Structure 1
Amino acid sequence: MVCTMAFLRALLSSARTFRYGPGLSAGLPADDAVLLDAPDEWLSPALVAAALGEYEPAAKLLATTRDAADWETRDRALARLVAFARGRDGWLTGWLAAAPRDPDALLVKAALAVRRAWESPAHSELLREVGPLITAATEADPRDPVPWRLALDHARGTHAPHTVFESLWEQAVRRCTHHYGTHVSALRYLSAEWYGSHRECFDFAERAAEDAARDSLVQALPVRAAFALLRDEKAAARANSVQVDRVDAAADLAIGLSAGFPAGDPWPAEVRNLLAYVLAARGRSAEALEQFRLIGTCATSFPWASVTGDTLGAFLDARADVRLRVASSTPLCGRPERGGLRGH
C-alpha cells in the first residue's frame, strides 16, 4: 500500500510538471542568455578602455562619483574595475604613473591589493602589508566612505579586536550613514563565521534596515544574515522558531525592496539572487520563481559561488529546481494548493 501511494504521488507530480512546466518558464530567459556579473551599461566604456590600456574613462567615472558624493555608484564601479584589474592592471599602472596622488587611483590601488591579499591562503600577513595603502586612500579624500569599507575588510582579515572594528565603523558611518558596502563589511565581521554570532548579525542588520530608506539596499542586510544562518548547517538544524521567523521576515523585507525596481535591473541583481536562494531554501518556491523572473539575465556570483565552483551552473540549477518544484506542487485542476507554497 505504501509503495502504491508513493508511485501515485510520483505519477501525479510528473503529470503536473508536464502540464504546467512550460507555462512556468514564461518570463525566464533561456539558459544561454543568462550572464554572470554582467557590467552595467554606464560602466562598459571604462572597462573597454581599460582593456585597451587606457585609464582616462575610469578616472573620469570615479571622479564624477566622488564630486557628486554618489558613494553607492562609486563603490559599485570600484568593485567592477578591481575585478577587471585582477587580470589586466596595465591601465592602473599607467594611471598611477601619471597621477600618483589621485584619490581615485589610490582607491583602486588599495582595493586591488586588498582583494589579492584575501585570495591568498596567507591573507592575514598580506593584509597587514597593504594597511598603508588603505590609509593613503582614506586620507586622499576625507569625505569618502568607500576606503573605510576596505578598512573594515582589512580589520576582519587581520583579526582586529572589536574595539578597532568599532572605531573604524564610527569613521565609516560618520561619512555616510547608510552606505551599503560598509554595512556589508561590518555584517561579515559580526558574523558567526568570524567574530560574532548569528544573533549579533540579525540584530545589526535589522536595526540598520529599520533606519534606512525603503529603497536603500541596506534593506537587504537582514536577508544576508538569513543566508549566513542557512549556510551554517549546524546552526540551521538547531534554529528555533524565533530564528525561523527572523529568516522569513528578512525575506519578506527583501521582497518589498525588490518590488521597487524594474525587472532585469542590474542594480538590485545581487539582492535578488540572494533572495531567490533564501526563498528556495525556505521552501517558498513560488516566490523564489518570481525573483528569478525579476532577475532575468542578471546572475551574480554571490551567493551561488558559495554553493559550488560552477557559479553560473549553480544559478541555472537552482532556477530549474524551483520551477520544477512549483510545477510539481500545482494541482492538476490548476488551483493553488491549500496553504500555499510557503512552509517552515
Structure 2
Amino acid sequence: MAFLSSRRGRARLAPELDDAGLGRLLKSLQAATGAGTIATTDLYMAQVSRLLDQGGADWDRRTHRLSVLAHCLSASHGPRAWATREPRNASALVLSAWAQLERGRSLGRPQDAVGIIGSCLRAAELAPKDPTPWVVLLGLSRLERRSQPEVFSLWHEVLTRDRWNRAAYLSMLRFLGPQEMGSRVQVLDFVDAVRAGAPADAPCAATELTAEVLHYQSVLARGGVEALMARTHWTHFSTAQALGRAVCTWGRPGAVRHAAAVADLNLLAYALMAAERRVEARPVFEVINGTVAAWPWSAGGDPVSEFERARIRSGAGV
C-alpha cells in the first residue's frame, strides 16, 4: 500500500481505494460512458482486460478490481457486450455476471439468475483456479435466499481457491446475520472461528470488526432508547478487545497491504470515533489521508461529509 505523508489530504470518495491503475481505468470508463461509446469500442474491452490480467494469480487484487468494476458498470451493457464478444474470456464472463448481480441487488432480485449462473460456471471451467466466479455465485445465493447448506457449499468453493478471500468472508458474515438468514449467535460463532484461524494481516482480518460495526449500526437504526444507548456497545469487554486488536494490528503505516486495506482502515477509524477513542483514531485518519470508503460512513449520511466531520473531531492533520 502506498502511504502518503501525514499532511492532511482532501477527503474524496474513491471506490478504487489506493489502486492507482484501477482509478485511472474508472476515469476512462466514466468518460466513455458519458460519450455513449462504452459498449461499442474495443478500447473498453482492452483496457479492462489489461488491468485484470496484470494481477495474475493475485486473487485478492483481482477480486477487489472486479468488485469495483462490477459496481461501477452495473447500469451499463458494456460488460455483457464484452462477454458476448469473447465467450471464452473468463474475465469478461465474471465481470458480466457480477455486474448483473449488482444490478439485481439494487432491484432486490436478480433479473437473469440463470444467465449469471451460466456465465460463472463457464468462467470456472476456463479458469479453474480463479475464486471470483464462486464469489459471484455466493452473492447470488444470498440474494436468492438460498439455504445455508447451499451457501456454505459455494463459500467453500471460494476458500479452496483463495483461503482468506475478503469478499467471501464478508459475504458470509452478512448472510449469517439476523438481517438475512441467521442470527447474532451465528455471527459470533463465525467470527470466533475466523479469529482463531486467520492470520492477523489476512485480507479477511476485518471480519470481526465488521461484525461489531454492523451490530452497532443495527442498534442505531432501531431508534428510540436503544439508539441513545448504542455507544455503550463499544464498552463491552469483547467489543473493546476486538477494537484493541485491530488498533494494534492495523494502526501502523504499512501494517496491512491487501487490496482493500484502506477500506478496513476506514472501518477502524469509524469504530474508534464511535467508541470516542479519538486519540487512537487520529493516526488512522492520517494514514487514510482522505481516501474515503463509502461504508460504513454512508450509514450516517453523505460518506465524505461524515468522514470529514469525524476526522475534524479526531484532530487529525491539524
- TM-score, normalising length: structure 2: 0.80
**AA partner of residue 313 (structure 1):** S
Task: Count the aligned residue pairs.
Answer: 293
Deviation at 1:37, TM superposition (A): 1.4
The correspondence of residues 1-344 of structure 1 with structure 2, limited to 5 A, is 27=6, 29=8, 33-37=10-14, 39=16, 40-50=19-29, 51-52=31-32, 53=38, 54=43, 55-65=45-55, 68-90=56-78, 92-93=79-80, 95-120=82-107, 122-123=108-109, 127=113, 130-233=116-219, 244-262=236-254, 267-308=260-301, 310-323=302-315
Residue pair 1:146, 1:182 contacting (<8 A) in 2 also: no
More divergent stretch after superposition (74-83 vs 126-135): 126-135
How many angstroms apart in 2 are the aligned matches of 1:128 and 1:286?
A: 51
Identity %: 23
**AA partner of residue 141 (structure 2):** A
More divergent stretch after superposition (208-217 vs 45-54): 45-54
How many angstroms apart in 2 are the aligned matches of 1:77 and 1:242?
A: 33
Root-mean-square deviation (Å): 3.1
More divergent stretch after superposition (50-59 vs 141-150): 50-59
Map Cα deviations across residues 256-302 of structure 1 (whole Å, 9 max, x no partner). Answer: 33235439988411111111111111221211222212211211101
Query: CA 1:263–1:256 in structure 2 vs 1: closer, same or farther (change >3 Å)?
Result: closer
More divergent stretch after superposition (164-173 vs 269-278): 164-173
Query: CA 1:264–1:199 in structure 2 vs 1: closer, same or farther (change >3 Å)?
Result: closer
**AA partner of residue 271 (structure 2):** V
More divergent stretch after superposition (105-114 vs 181-190): 181-190
Aligned to 1:337: none
Deviation at 1:180, TM superposition (A): 1.2
How many angstroms apart in 2 are the aligned matches of 1:38 and 1:131?
A: 26
* Larger relative contact order (Cα-Cα within 8 Å, sequence gap ≥ 6): 2
Residue pair 1:47, 1:58 contacting (<8 A) in 2 also: no
**AA partner of residue 316 (structure 1):** E
Query: CA 1:242–1:317 in structure 2 vs 1: closer, same or farther (change >3 Å)?
Result: closer
Residue pair 2:231, 2:275 contacting (<8 A) in 1 also: no
- TM-score, normalising length: structure 1: 0.75
**AA partner of residue 47 (structure 2):** P
Deviation at 1:84, TM superposition (A): 3.0
Give unmatched runs, 5+ long, in structure 1: 1-25, 328-344
Give unmatched runs, 5+ long, in structure 2: 33-37
